[in-house]
Amino acid sequence: MATRNPEINRFNKKAAFFVALAMFAQESVWNFYDAQVPASLRQYISSAAVIGLLMGVDNLLGIFVQPWMAHMSDQHKAKGGSRFRFLLIGAPVAAVLFALIPWAISFEMLLVAMIGFAFVANGFKSITESLTADYQAPNHRSKGNAVARIGVALTILASAAISFIVVDKDLRLAFFIPALLLVIGMYVACRALSSQEAHRPVQSADDHAQLNLKELVLDVFTSPDRRRLLLLLAVFGANGTWTAIRSQLTPYVMEVLELTRGTAGSIGFPAGIAFLVAAIPVAIIADRTNRAVVCMLGMIVVALGCVAVFFATSTVQVAAAMALVAVGWAAFAINAVAILWSIAPNQAYLGTYTGMYWTAAAIGQTLMPAFLGLLVDLTAWRYMMLHAAVLSCLSALLMLKVVRGAAPRPREQPEGV
């Protein structure tokens, strides 16, 4: 396994900021997509299960595209190139396809715009996520990822603000704003990061070995160390549950509390603030204790928040309960990928492992919204958050197995696994 470069063993604040900007640019479209596209689908479809399935099918493309593109970026980087060309080409194309969604005048046109956007945007999603590992030493990656996740949390606020102010007045303008943020934010971030010094670990003999994508994936399933596999299963469940909650929250609130589409879409404001407040503290706690334990406790908090939403009877109560859900999600989202980076046996392929992380997430994001929607169809909208609470507990159990898994080698201990 690669060792740290003592010359670059500090937290790169500028790199952390611009990676967060890239994440904000990327997630601004995804967050608004999850918040508003289900309502667009409801114009053609009444079944919550079908809506959930369609909201997940676009991520099916990411299962194949993300690790493939991330591995390509690893190979390009190993040859002296950078990941930036993938971002600077993908972002404008994805932005155009995203902006076309509200212009669809039929169900078929809506599907084409949705799937086209998902294909392109998934192509560079893992590459953007890999930037933290590129620019931060291992002992600072949780903190770096926390800053990046603050950028993601800001998109929750941005999406809620656009929903509240613009959606009910001009839906096409509302979709154009995140698309513009994607292009401008990604360009500025890439230009700024190109002038920053990247973290370059001392390479071991294993790190110099050329491995193809198939070999790297098979090693996850065949290695005696099961932590990577268990972690990816937990990522599947946790990301899928979070996506299901986000994608179904707007119609859930519209049905249960009888709010307008714009008001329902803006109910995530407190959740975004809660994520911002919790991001750095949960990263520091994880670095000083155990990242896997923090992830496990985070999913328990998500479950408790879902139960609180179920019992909520007003907009204020739902917003407060969703803030609790966001705190729990912050604990998991900030630390899970840092665990995978730290236990990856070959540090030359961190982009590929990030792709595996998001492949597991994409599978969950494909299946869980439809599964949660099916549970709603079998019961009622009223019980959606109880179902989500049970799913969150399953992810917590998987993280418990990671905690009880093989102990890291002594030189891995400082990374807070």
Domains of the chain: 9-199+212-405 (1.20.1250.20)
Kindly report which listed range (49-63, 284-298, 333-347) carries the lowest average pLDDT score: 49-63
Quick one: pLDDT at residue 209? Answer: 58
Question: For residue range 18-56, what is the model confidence (pLDDT) as tens digits?
Answer: 999 999 999 999 888 888 888 888 888 888 778 877 877
Quick one: pLDDT at residue 417? Answer: 64
Question: For residue range 89-136, what is the model confidence (pLDDT) as tens digits?
Answer: 999 999 999 999 999 888 889 999 999 999 999 889 889 988 888 888
Cβ pair 34, 25 in contact under 8 A:
no
Quick one: pLDDT at residue 410? Answer: 41
Residue 151 has pLDDT above 80, yes or no: yes
Mean pLDDT of the chain: 84
Question: How far is 127 from 255, CA to CA, in rounded Å?
Answer: 38
Residue 152 has pLDDT above 50, yes or no: yes
Beta bridge partners of 314: none
Q: Which residues of 15-48 are buried (b: 16+ CB within 10 A; e: fewer)?
A: bbbbbbbbbbbbbbbbbbbbbbbbbbbbeeeeeb
Question: For residue range 348-392, what is the model confidence (pLDDT) as tens digits?
Answer: 778 888 889 988 988 888 788 889 989 988 988 889 999 999 999
Beta bridge partners of 202: 3
As to burial, measured by CB atoms within 10 angstroms (0-12 exposed, 13-18 middle, 19+ buried), residue 380 is exposed
Kindly report which listed range (33-42, 79-88, 171-180, 312-321) carries the lowest average pLDDT score: 79-88
Name 119's Cβ contacts closer than 8 Å, sequence gap at least 6.
Answer: 58, 61, 65
Cβ pair 240, 365 in contact under 8 A:
yes
The SS3 assignment for 202 reads: strand
66: confidence class by pLDDT, cuts 50, 70, 90 = confident
The SS3 assignment for 3 reads: strand
